[in-house]
Structure 1
Amino acid sequence: MADNRVVEGRMVTPKKLAELVEGERVMDAEGIEDADHDCPECGGDVVSVGYMPSVTAFVTGYKCQECSWSERDD
């Protein structure tokens, strides 16, 4: 499990990656991991991060390392 990754040309922390997926600040985030699928838009590598957008929720966010595609899995 890596702490930081390059996403869209910028080095991001797990919390920053979660904020890119969520579109706003998050409470906490786990480490960034490789997702086992490619981006449906550009075919690039996808990474995942588990995070808490609020005190009562935990979701997994997926983000392409190459383009702006992202999604979350509640």
Structure 2
Amino acid sequence: MSNRVVQGRMVTPERLAELIEGERPMEADGIEDADRACPECGGDVLAVSYMPTVTELITGYKCQDCDWSDADR
């Protein structure tokens, strides 16, 4: 699935990566369920792989219900 609801808004993979990273990525793959609960609110967490630069590929995680996010760096 390419678009998902995060905090009441429909987001694309690029927008989800932007919410995690703080700026728009060069490229982002599809959004997937992360199969983990948010450590802050217990909500569902989504995962997205994205490229903030030409040489980096990062997997970012974002809660669907609150502001919590994290990234594998």
Q: If the length of structure 2 is used for normalisation, what is the TM-score? A: 0.98
Match of 1:15 in 2: 14
CA RMSD in angstroms comes to 0.4
SS of 2:60's equivalent in the other structure is: strand
Match of 2:65 in 1: 66
Match of 1:47 in 2: 46
Cα displacement (A) at 1:36: 1.3
Tell me which stretches of 4 or more aligned residues in structure 1 moved more than 4 Å. none
Instruction: Give distance in 2, aligned partners of 1:25 and 1:67.
Output: 20
Q: Which has the higher strand share?
A: 1
* Identical counterparts, % of pairs: 68
1:3 paired with 2:2, answer: yes
Instruction: Give distance in 2, aligned partners of 1:46 and 1:25.
Output: 20
Instruction: Give distance in 1, aligned partners of 2:70 and 2:17.
Output: 10
How many corresponding residue pairs?
A: 73
Instruction: Give distance in 2, aligned partners of 1:25 and 1:45.
Output: 23
Cα displacement (A) at 1:38: 0.2
